[in-house]
Amino acid sequence: MSICIGIRHEDKYRSETRTPLVPRHAERLVKTQNIDVIVQSSPKRIFSDNEYLKAGAKVQKDLKLCPVIFGVKEIPESIFEREKTYIFFAHVIKGQKKNMHMLKRMMDMKCNLIDYERVIDEQGKRLIFFGRYAGLAGMINSFWALGLRLKYYGYNSKFLKVKQAHHYHSLEEARDVISQAGQEIAELGCPPELRPFVIGFTGYGNVSNGAQEICGLLPVKEISPEKLLSLKSRKKLPDNIIYKVIFKEEHLVEPIDKEQEFDLNDYYTNPQKYRSQFEKYIPHLSMLINCMYWDDRYPKFITKNYLKKLYSGGRPKLNVISDITCDVDGSIESTVKATEIEDPIYVYDPFKNKIKMGSDGDGILTMAVHILPSELPRDSSCGFSDVLVNFVKPIAVADYNVPYEELELPRSIKKGLILLNGKLTPPYKYIETYLK
């Protein structure tokens, strides 16, 4: 008897068209690993039903025959079936309130839950992720938003040729357009009023690397945060260079105790002992691309009060904040709303504490699309599937009826097992606090 897995139709968002496993990998599972792949029919998935059929998969209306089901985003509570294994981005490890009912439902149905976000190696690095594509799409959108914002200020910039990421057929098409903008900057330079043009990145992981990959299509020179503070005072700066600055934890925060030196491990263990010091850099930035992991234990990097103070002196240098991490009311307090692909940007007015959708108005332009990899659905699905396919068979053949200690799964996958037969596994017992 062959093993059976299911690939579900994504229904959380209208614009979500990604898939966890692409047709060529479905074909590999069917032909070389004797796995029946059943794909839930979808009118909007970036890969058509017919592409899966040609690959040897079966396409059906539902996944009732499948004991193991792979998805991307959260699953509606009504969909879960008793004692099945689900693999998707659950967004529960921070105790996210909006998903606790979903988790309770899975517990009641004695389901198994593997969360991609927690599939990590021995160094704690994620193995199955869309992060790079969030960075790629986020940076494309950032340049598109910058073009619109500069136009509002009266500049006919090279970035007006850039479109929002989902309007491109492929990542390569977007790269070509941005490269052309970069060539024009190299040849013609930036307007004097915008110099030096500086793009700041918080973080240095997969998301940040993806964003920097797109930024690298421009004539970029990287400088340190320390050099940023004196950049404007330098004489004879070139007019055809975009400056890039990467901010790590030690640039974003400092110990409250002035006698203490910054220690990364101590910061992550005792974040309450630290405060933000990022404000000193903000007036020197033209754009900020936020790619840093954050939760509410850590200091905020940009507060609403600071933005009010920044704008009190007139229009600042900072034109755009792209909050790729999209933590609403999180590290960047002007991110007061996560946006949809169809309506992706807004201007936050720090004096009125209100937003206006679009690129016009007083305040800071914010891009905060919460499913950015969906803007590059074909590329991001392929990259994700390239890694996931290697774990499908071990997940599908595992015996989930044994105790947690005896469960045979690849070590990295077992680290992502949040529920076993409806019960929180030992590493995730802390979530019980959020379920009450």
Question: What are 177-210's pLDDT values in tens digits?
Answer: 999 999 999 999 999 999 999 999 999 999 999 9
Domain extents for the chain? 3-129+377-435, 131-375
What is the amino acid identity at position 337? K
CA distance 190 to 186: 9
pLDDT in tens, 318-343: 999 999 999 999 999 999 999 999 99
Beta strands in 170-323 (DSSP E): 197-202, 220-223, 242-247, 253-255, 274-276, 287-290, 320-323
Measured in whole angstroms, the distance separating CA 256 from the mean position of its chain's CA atoms is: 30
CA distance 116 to 87: 7
CA distance 20 to 119: 14
The residues with which 276 forms a beta bridge, in sequence order, are 253
pLDDT band at residue 1 under the 50/70/90 scheme: very low
Mean pLDDT of 23-37: 97
Q: Is 60 exceeded by the pLDDT of residue 266?
A: yes
pLDDT at 8: 98
Give the SS3 label for residue 212: helix
pLDDT in tens, 397-420: 999 999 999 999 999 999 999 999
The residues with which 356 forms a beta bridge, in sequence order, are 347
Mean pLDDT of 56-71: 98
Q: What is the pTM of this model?
A: 0.90
Kindly report the average pLDDT of the chain as a whole number: 96
Q: Which two tokens stand for residue 178?
A: 């941005």
Q: Which residue has the tokens 């057929």?
A: 169
pLDDT at 2: 74
Using alpha carbons, list the distances in angstroms from residue 210 to 159, 204, 255: 19, 10, 30
pLDDT in tens, 366-403: 999 999 999 999 999 999 999 999 999 999 999 999 99
- CATH 3.40.50.720 corresponds to the domain 131-375: yes
How does DSSP classify residue 205?
S
Give the SS3 label for residue 395: helix
Inter-residue contact 317 to 286 (CB < 8 Å): yes
pLDDT band at residue 139 under the 50/70/90 scheme: very high
Q: Which residue has the tokens 């309007």?
A: 167
Strands 364-367 and 320-323: parallel
- CATH 3.40.50.720 corresponds to the domain 3-129+377-435: yes
pLDDT at 233: 84
pLDDT band at residue 232 under the 50/70/90 scheme: confident
Residue 274 phi, psi (nearest 5):
-125, 160
Give the SS3 label for residue 314: coil
Let me know if the fold of 3-129+377-435 is the same as that of 131-375.
yes
Using alpha carbons, list the distances in angstroms from residue 394 to 192, 388, 398: 59, 11, 6
Write down the H helix ranges in 244-361.
249-252, 264-269, 304-312
Mean pLDDT of 43-48: 97
How does DSSP classify residue 351?
T
Give the SS3 label for residue 200: strand
Inter-residue contact 58 to 39 (CB < 8 Å): yes
The residues with which 113 forms a beta bridge, in sequence order, are 86, 419
| CB-CB neighbours of 371 under 10 Å | 24
Give the SS3 label for residue 241: coil
239 contacts: CB under 8 Å, gap ≥ 6: 189, 190, 192, 195
Q: Please state whether the peptide bond connecting residue 67 to the residue before it is cis, i.e. omega within 30 degrees of 0.
A: no
pLDDT at 187: 95
Q: Which residue has the tokens 């509606």?
A: 76
Mean pLDDT of 11-27: 95
pLDDT at 234: 85
pLDDT at 154: 95
Mean pLDDT of 301-330: 96
Give the SS3 label for residue 151: helix
202 contacts: CB under 8 Å, gap ≥ 6: 208, 247, 252, 288, 289, 290, 291, 292, 301, 331
